[in-house]
Homo-oligomer: A and B are copies of this chain.
């Protein structure tokens, strides 16, 4: 990890009033380095020293609470997480981007440059958040 990245991670944690620990730093490092969304299992099967199962659950929950990561909806039971953009605040997410799930390699990617089109809802429904999950074949697998 570069000094710059280390700095960035520490800042993310401090901004959210979280102490800088080894587990949190390494998990955030994984998020920053990964092109696709991560799931609980991603953190368990590390080469070398793995994280404790329980700590992973708790750390992911903390990151969610603070708005550092967001969950990505899936049709399988797996829950996937990805880093939020910098303008997400606690309990106030602004992730208006599209998620892409590859049927071939199973990876989930946030397509940051792609906007979610406006959705027309029936009368009586008030939209607060829109999630778009496109599935198909990703760039790498094509």
User: Is A138 interfacial (CB-CB < 8 Å)?
Assistant: yes
- CB neighbors of B among A29-85 (8 A): 71-77, 79
Contact with A136, one of B120, B128, B134 (Cβ below 8 angstroms) = B128
Interface residues on A, range: 35 or more
CA A91 – CA B137 in complex, angstroms? 17
User: Is A103 interfacial (CB-CB < 8 Å)?
Assistant: yes
Q: How far is the CB of A43 from chain B (nearest CB, A)?
A: 17
Contact with A124, one of B113, B122, B138 (Cβ below 8 angstroms) = B138
User: Do A111 and B117 touch across chains, with their CB atoms under 8 A apart?
Assistant: no
User: Do B72 and A72 touch across chains, with their CB atoms under 8 A apart?
Assistant: no
User: Do B113 and A125 touch across chains, with their CB atoms under 8 A apart?
Assistant: no
| Given A134-B130, A142-B126: A98 and B119 interface contact (C-beta under 8 Å) | yes
User: Is A6 interfacial (CB-CB < 8 Å)?
Assistant: no
Q: How far is the CB of A118 from chain B (nearest CB, A)?
A: 8
